[in-house]
Chain A
Amino acid sequence: MSRENVLVSAQWAQENLETPGIVFVEVDEDTAAYDRNHIPGAVKLDWKTDLQDPVRRDFVNRDQFSALLSERGIGNNDIVILYGGNNNWFAAYAYWYFKLYGHLDVRLLDGGRKKWELDDRPLSTDAVTRNATNYEAKSPDNSIRAFRDDVVSAIGAQNLVDVRSPDEYTGRLLAPAHLPQEQSQRAGHIPTALSVPWSKAANADGTFKSDDELRDLYAEAGLDGQKSTIAYCRIGERSSHTWFVLRELLGHAEVRNYDGSWTEYGSLVGVPIALGEEPGKVEV
């Protein structure tokens, strides 16, 4: 997998704002950000109201995803460029989603909204409308999605990578520090999980580090290249960022994102939890 096929620079993006067949899509944690301003011509996907099922705790199914992209005017053959705030967390989550539903060509804007703003590149408040399409999503590729039973059986057997901040890993915080710490589930991490915060894979301006730096990062953390890997965080968006690094940038073969993440695992009855800075051991 080469970086050029999955990641575009801000400069490339600005030069291709009006190129036919390329659609810019903003996906934000702050769902009001797009309405304040956006990259000219970009459409919006709301990670919550558009991408999550309104009833079940799951994301939208194949038919819902097809209807959503059709309505936003995205075609099966369009090159989709995803970007967003918070260092592309939710854009990376959407990227994983587009891959899960088999979109042919989807790429991330390196650095997302942050890099774009810091570069003082154009932003628009104009409403964007695109003609509807007949998008047809493929069957979900669950080889890139981990469920809770996969995670429990991966303890001590596969690579588990906890990408949350060190304070969440050790159990001192339950959520990222821009959110109230009010949740009731248990704190800590999945035993044997390595702590490699997602932020170590990014530069201060939100762009990804170089392939060499990324390879060194995971090698030093002790990731076993011969085993498959499951990444998790709190709700599956920061782990999408790391999933993108491991699978799309570094080309690891078997990498899955556990989108249930700590909000699910930390609420399960009867599963082991480790506290503190050490990965912890397998219970026998």
Chain B
Amino acid sequence: MSALTQQSAQNIAGCAAPDQSAPLPASVDLNKETVISGVVDVDGQPVSGAYVRLLDASGEFTAEVVTSPEGVFRFFAAPGTWTLRALARAGEGSTEVTAAVGQNTVSVTLSD
């Protein structure tokens, strides 16, 4: 519990990227938030340490996170069309998603 409390306090204070594999902070209201999350994989295996960018409908950078040891990323966006672009030593990949309020799950597969 203390870790969660610390996590959400840190989120409010600054731009620190939350631990990507941690459970959603208790303060996150899925009736309001548009969460886009998923796994980066290559050949069916999750890729940790991949850089994942969230691009808006015009292709402009919105945010970037690094995947967790389980290959997981997470963004807090708004309803609409977004592109996820992943970059790692194993290759690159991108996926488009049309997100709605709540949890939106999407995977990004890398290729050379």
Please determine whether chains A and B interact with each other in the same assembly.
yes
Residues in A lying within 8 Å of B, measured CB to CB: 29-32, 47-48, 85-87, 89-90, 114, 117-118, 120, 165-167, 172-173, 175-183, 197, 199, 204-205, 234-235, 237-238
Q: In chain B, residues 68-112, which have Cβ atoms closer than 8 Å to a Cβ of chain A?
A: 74-78, 87-89
Q: What are the residues of chain A within 8 A of B51 when measuring CB–CB?
A: 114, 118
Q: What are the residues of chain B within 8 A of A32 when measuring CB–CB?
A: 19
Q: What are 7 sample pairs from A and B whose C-beta atoms fall under 8 A apart?
A: A30-B16, A31-B16, A114-B51, A180-B27, A181-B32, A182-B27, A197-B61
Q: Are B15 and A204 in contact (CB under 8 A)?
A: no
Q: What are the residues of chain A within 8 A of B29 when measuring CB–CB?
A: 182
Partner of A48, one of B10, B28, B60: B10
Q: Are A199 and B60 in contact (CB under 8 A)?
A: yes
Besides the contacts A172-B78, A178-B63, A182-B11, what 19 more A-B pairs have beta carbons closer than 8 Å?
A29-B14, A29-B16, A30-B17, A89-B15, A90-B15, A165-B60, A166-B58, A166-B60, A175-B15, A177-B77, A178-B75, A179-B11, A180-B25, A181-B78, A182-B28, A199-B60, A199-B61, A205-B87, A238-B15
Residue B1, interface by CB 8 Å: no
Partner of A179, one of B15, B32, B78: B15
Partner of B13, one of A48, A86, A120, A167: A48
Q: Are A165 and B58 in contact (CB under 8 A)?
A: no
Q: Are B76 and A180 in contact (CB under 8 A)?
A: yes
- The residue on A at minimum CB distance from B69 is A36
Q: What are the residues of chain B within 8 A of A177 when measuring CB–CB?
A: 54, 62-63, 75-77
Task: Report the Cα distance A176→B88, complex, angstroms.
Answer: 22
Q: What are the residues of chain A within 8 A of B75 when measuring CB–CB?
A: 177-178
B15, B29, B51, B89 — most chain A CB neighbours (10 Å): B15
Q: What are the residues of chain B within 8 A of A199 when measuring CB–CB?
A: 60-61
Residue B49, interface by CB 8 Å: yes
Q: Are A181 and B33 in contact (CB under 8 A)?
A: yes
Q: Are B54 and A179 in contact (CB under 8 A)?
A: no
Partner of B74, one of A29, A30, A172, A178: A178
- The residue on B at minimum CB distance from A205 is B87
A48 to chain B, nearest CB (A): 6
Q: Are A48 and B14 in contact (CB under 8 A)?
A: yes
Q: Are B87 and A204 in contact (CB under 8 A)?
A: yes
- The residue on A at minimum CB distance from B54 is A177
Q: Are A176 and B12 in contact (CB under 8 A)?
A: no
B25 to chain A, nearest CB (A): 7
Residue B18, interface by CB 8 Å: yes
B89 to chain A, nearest CB (A): 6
Partner of B87, one of A29, A118, A179: A118
**In the A-B complex, the 9 residue pairs with the closest CB atoms:** A199-B61, A177-B63, A178-B63, A165-B62, A177-B75, A176-B63, A177-B77, A177-B62, A178-B65
B12, B16, B58, B75 — most chain A CB neighbours (10 Å): B16
Q: What are the residues of chain B within 8 A of A204 when measuring CB–CB?
A: 87
Known: A173-B77, A178-B76, A180-B76. A167 touches B62 (CB 8 A): yes
Q: What are the residues of chain A within 8 A of B10 when measuring CB–CB?
A: 48
B61, B66, B88 — most chain A CB neighbours (10 Å): B61
Task: Report the Cα distance A222→B46, complex, angstroms.
Answer: 44
Partner of A197, one of B11, B17, B18, B60: B60
Q: Are A48 and B16 in contact (CB under 8 A)?
A: yes
A162 to chain B, nearest CB (A): 13
